[in-house]
Amino acid sequence: MKLFIEDYSYRADLVSPLLHELQPLESPAHTISLHYVGYFYSNVLHDCIFILPKVLVDEQGLLFGHLDPHQALDLNTATGLSHREKSFLYEFSVWIYRSIQVYNKKSPDNGIVYQRLLPEVESSRAAPVNGYLDILLALLHFGQRHRDFVLSTTRLAHAGRSRIHWPNTVTHTNPYFRGTTPYYLHPITKRAIPDLDDELLAIYYSILRYIADTYGFTVLYPLGLKRIAPYLFDRYLHGIGARRLRAIRYRYYTDLTLELWGLCYAFFSAVPTSNLSAGHGEYLLAKDYHIIFEAMIDTLLGDPNPPKGLKAQPDGKRVDHIYSHQGLLALDACDRVYYIGDSKYYRAGAAVGAEAVYKQFTYARNLIQWNIDSFFSAVSLGDMPVVGLCRDELTEGYNIVPNFFISAWMPHSLSFADEAAFVAQTSSVFISKQFENRLFDRDTLLVYHYKVNFLVVISLYAGGSLYHRAQWRARLRNLFTEGLRQALLQRYDFYVLIPRTSVDVKAFIQSHFQELLGKLYRPISFPTSDYLLLALERFADKAENDHILGLLAPSFSLLHCLLGQLPRKAMECVAGGGC
């Protein structure tokens, strides 16, 4: 198996002989880069060539943070990779195949996926293997190509099992006589005769079940065929499978049973022994893999059908991900806002560019204007607005627009199930503002940057069930909400303002409007319309913050609070009918 990394600059003199069929162009610096992700079979090399996503390398261009990709061109002979890393690359290649296949099925006219008939596997045990993916595909194709053979073998194996074997019954059991007539209460049937085919088929369909459960392939099973229990099959994966197949090898002599035995043994064995048939150059390649990454994130995060004008905006810009969820300032799920996300398919550790940040601010400004236009348009028509108005009429403060970048990262564990390390916030915070210390101003926009575990994302997209994806969608949205709240709490102090008795809130705000503009907001989920939220930037002028607090203190109770919840004292005030 030959291994390449997408967009990595390889020395032309080393890789040109390996890429003869792709005919890549050589740069003036005598380097070659492949702008595809996927794999193809080389008739010249008689081997599979994989092109894996660039998220595998860091900003220094090192694979797994320690290896020059030139040293991993031949995965079978690469000495710089640990056994764990090699095993990961074999499994990762299957997930890449699945992600391209799923995307191509959902968007058949996508224009970025190129494919030809996939490879088949021969039964020769002496030939070298061409990859873990080849074995999985060949196992799936065997059942499709020889379904009649598998079913007829099953029927023959089960036929006649209920017939009594009279010679053994008479010889080995004692009859019960009624008069002169013997009755055999425990007859011996043919069930006691070992079934030479059932064990191989049980192993084969247990492997298919594992492939289906792990990678999401669709598999049909013959009715009544036994399979190995999942807990026991795990032991087969750790050595018993190969040993058991070697023990029953002598039972098989037909071409098809030998082929099936070879495929199963290749799956379990540490040194698989399958061989690709090189009838013609098969391939499954995707250019612009960032489009597939965007589709993965949107499947797990975005609303499938957002209102018109949100995703495809009127100025021609298109938002990657948008969805409605509980607002950052809201106390309950009924107070919803739209979240904006943008996928960034970079190398590990790469920084977000200035152009991308500028576009993200523009998305937020367009969203605010859309919200105002659609709200008053819906009200004028007597309809229910999709979400509440982002501007508070009393304070003229604007709700916070949650806005973030999403990039991929690879966990050190190289685990597709490392859910604990699913989302991580980076230190990057991008701010656009006209005035200092005005969080609730229309022109104060913040964009944060998050990293998501690429392995969990791709396994959910390519192999997860609809139910599992829905669970993760809810969990991921909550993670972003809480993460953004915590990020805001690091930059701002928030206070709940509870008016004292006989205070006219509206008159007070009008009297001090210029001083409080952009600092106050009234969430619609607050218990009464007189409760306000104050935000003061921690890094702003301390004298200004002290002045604001001193201005408000005579007329309001100021209670320091977190986002999304009222402090206990405020709750007591609500229960007691006021402070």
- DSSP collapsed to 3 states, 286-317: EECHHHHHHHHHHHHHCCCCCCCCCCECCCCC
| pLDDT score of 121 | 46
Amino acid 379: pLDDT: 55
* pTM greater than the 0.85 cutoff: no
Q: Is 498 helix (H, G, I), strand (E, B) or coil?
A: strand
Distance CA 246, CA 345 (A): 45
- Joined together, the tokens standing for residue 85 give 């890393």
SS3 123: coil
pLDDT reported for residue 278:
42
Q: Which helix (H) or strand (E) holds 367?
A: helix 354-380
**Residue 226 pLDDT:** 81
CA distance 518 to 398: 8
Of 128, 132, 102, nearest to 3 (Cα)?
A: 132
Give residue 437's pLDDT: 93
CA distance 190 to 194: 9
pLDDT score recorded for residue 574: 58
Q: How far apart are the first and last CA of the chain?
A: 73
What is each CA distance from 131 to 46, 307, 414, in whole angstroms?
12, 45, 19
What stretches in the chain show pLDDT beneath 50?
118-129, 192-194, 196, 270-280
| pLDDT for the residue 389 | 85
Question: For residue 496, what are the β-bridge partners?
Answer: 533, 559
DSSP notation for 151-193: HHHHHHHHTTTTSB-HHHHHHHS--EEETTEEE-SS--BGGGS
Q: What is the pLDDT of residue 341?
A: 94
**What per-residue confidence (pLDDT) applies to 405?**
94
Give the pLDDT score at 144. Answer: 80
* Diameter over CA atoms, the chain: 117
- Kindly give the interhelix angle for 198-215 and 132-145, rounded to the nearest 10 degrees: 120
Closest CA to 526 of 441, 437, 376, 399: 399
